[in-house]
Amino acid sequence: MAHPDRSAGAVGSAAATKPGGLRARLLTAGFLGGALVLLTLFGSVTVFAAVLVIFLVLAALEWCQLAGWFTPTARAAYVASTLLISVGLWFGLREPAAQRVLLMLVAGGWAAALVSVCLAERGHPVLPASRFALGALGWFALVPLWLSLLWLKAYDPHLLLGLLALVWLADTAAYFTGRRWGRRKLAPRVSPGKTWMGVFGALGAAPLVAVPLGLAKDYPASVLLTFGGLCLFTVAASVVGDLFESQLKRQAGVKDSGTILPGHGGVLDRVDSLTAAAPLFYWGMILLVTRT
């Protein structure tokens, strides 16, 4: 979730972070993380949805900056359309089968996003310049994220908490491994601060969440192995989400998506990893439950 010029993030960095910046980052993450844990475990789905709407609005406003929707009217229209699409799909996709269709399309979209990152790294950026196309990319990133978090909350709050812990721990492990051992850059043209060692650190942290969570859910050995693979895949997806937002910010010429979260930048800078990880994790859980 880091910006290319910052030293923390979902895939780590070789650079150093200023003590004040790290302190602000930890305090913000601790406050938001603690509040989200309490809301996940003890809040109703309705309350959870209402709180997430606030973050959805903030994220949509930040996306306007990336897409070039600068006028008040354009920003209001974009936020309103994002809310209408999100709420409409929430009420329209109640059955897992319908959700699975949407999530398959989302998975294909993230595969295309990975291709676009790879092409940009080779010096052939393919992101559209049209503000309407960039706005549609915002719906692709934000709407499935909002839906997936709600669907997971309704299905099993402990799995939602596991997803959050998985991404947060991967982010933390990537930061420390990237800072300590990061030498080889992951994608210097897209996000110069990220390193391959950060990726390995993030992936190495996945079993620390996958194994205890799988055992707590009393999964048999075969299912536990598959669940562990899903968690590794989810962490890898979080890296793609992080890189994709970095690519968008580079095209828009901004360092951070916003300034509302001390030490993190904007809301998008905090949830970029989850944009890919959350829908793909929930999709994997649907497939896992269907086969067991």
The 10 Å Cβ neighbour count of residue 221 is 8
Tell me, what's the pLDDT at 256? 78
Would residue 175 count as lying in a domain? yes
Tell me, what's the pLDDT at 12? 47
Three-state secondary structure call for residue 236: helix
Task: Say what percent of the chain tops pLDDT 90.
Answer: 71
pLDDT band at 30 (very low <50, low <70, confident <90, very high): confident
As for how many domains the chain has, the answer is 1
Q: Which two tokens stand for residue 261?
A: 């979260």
Tell me, what's the pLDDT at 265? 75
Would residue 141 count as lying in a domain? yes
- What mean pLDDT do residues 267-282 have? 94
Would residue 146 count as lying in a domain? yes
Higher pLDDT, 286 or 26: 286
Q: Which two tokens stand for residue 203?
A: 């992936």
Report the predicted TM-score, pTM, of the whole model to 2 decimal places: 0.89
Would residue 1 count as lying in a domain? no
pLDDT band at 292 (very low <50, low <70, confident <90, very high): low
Backbone angles phi, psi at 261, to 5 degrees: -110, 110
Smallest CA-to-CA distance from 4 within 224, 266, 195 is with 195
Would residue 121 count as lying in a domain? yes
Tell me, what's the pLDDT at 270? 86
Q: For the segment 124-158, what is each residue's pLDDT rounded down to a tens digit? A: 989 998 999 999 999 999 999 999 999 999 999 99
Would residue 3 count as lying in a domain? no
Would residue 11 count as lying in a domain? no
Cα(202)–Cα(197) distance, rounded to whole angstroms?
A: 9
- What mean pLDDT do residues 266-288 have? 93
pLDDT band at 108 (very low <50, low <70, confident <90, very high): very high
Alpha-helical regions (H) of the chain = 19-42, 45-67, 72-92, 96-121, 131-155, 157-181, 196-216, 221-252, 267-291
Would residue 25 count as lying in a domain? yes
Task: Quote the domain boundaries for residue 124.
Answer: 19-291
